[in-house]
Amino acid sequence: MNYSRIIAGTMSWGSWGKQFNTNDMISQINTCLEAGITSFDHADIYGGYTTEADFGAAFKQTRIARSAIQLISKCGIAYVSPNRSNIIKHYNYSKEYIITSVENSLRNLETDYLDVLLLHRPSPLMHPCEIMEAIAKLGQEGKIKSFGVSNFTPSQVELIASEVPIEINQIEFSLTQNSALHDGTLDQMITKKITPMAWSPLGIVFKEDSEQTRRIHNCLGGLLDKYDATEDQLLLAWILKHPANIHPVIGTTNTQRIKDAISALKINLELEDWFSILVASKGHKVP
């Protein structure tokens, strides 16, 4: 399965963020496609279970061929929302819940299939055999093309993979949240040929003012002219250099930042520059 190297995250498109109307959604979809982003990351819970339907209605009006894009969605979090009867946030990976969730997503997105279904977060009560039964049925019916997980540790990946092959693990990964470099997560994805996707790829660099972020800004500032790049492009280039072939999921809806993200694909950081950026984040030399 081919995905655009940069993926558009839709979490903030609806009521959880920009509150786009249908025309706004159409414009945003076209902006992404014009930039070269063809993969769109969803979850059933986004917008309190409303964003998928908003996107689906907008995409239908674009008359863009379904085969021209890739739709990723997630299920498993039972979220407290006016649109659900849940009294507490929890996880549900029963066969029936997974199947019903996917069928709801298909209906809301107005599509016959998902290119990717991800289990949104691990549950302490999940069982690989029950998950396998749901995924097998959905696959046989052509409702999902690929299967993966999100926010799973290596041992949790192995648990599910004992019954059903995992093709993708979408994790939080950035310069400032880089535990996947050291805890075996990215190592596993290379050895098992699992595609990594990274949400929040810019981390806290532009969100917090701390000793760490000041070190990072100082380091990136010294590289801007060398690479003719912006700081956010360098942060993405740092992720893109990893041999696991990570696909950043960007949340921005700003047209220029979307174009900048695509331009980051052309930046090949020199080895010592890559490590200098890592050291700036860590605050000490590598061991």
Report the catalytic residues: 46
In whole angstroms, give the CA distance from residue 139 to residue 265: 33
DSSP 43: -
Pair 184, 164: CB distance under 8 Å: no
User: What b/e readout covers 129-145, taking b as 16+ CB neighbours within 10 angstroms?
Assistant: ebbbbbbeebeeeebbb
For the residues of 85-112, what is the DSSP string, one character each?
Answer: --SS-EE---HHHHHHHHHHHHHHHT-S
Q: What residues contact residue 148 under an 8 Å CB cut-off, 6+ apart?
A: 116, 117, 118, 119, 166, 167, 168, 169, 170, 194, 195
Q: What type of residue is 68? A: A
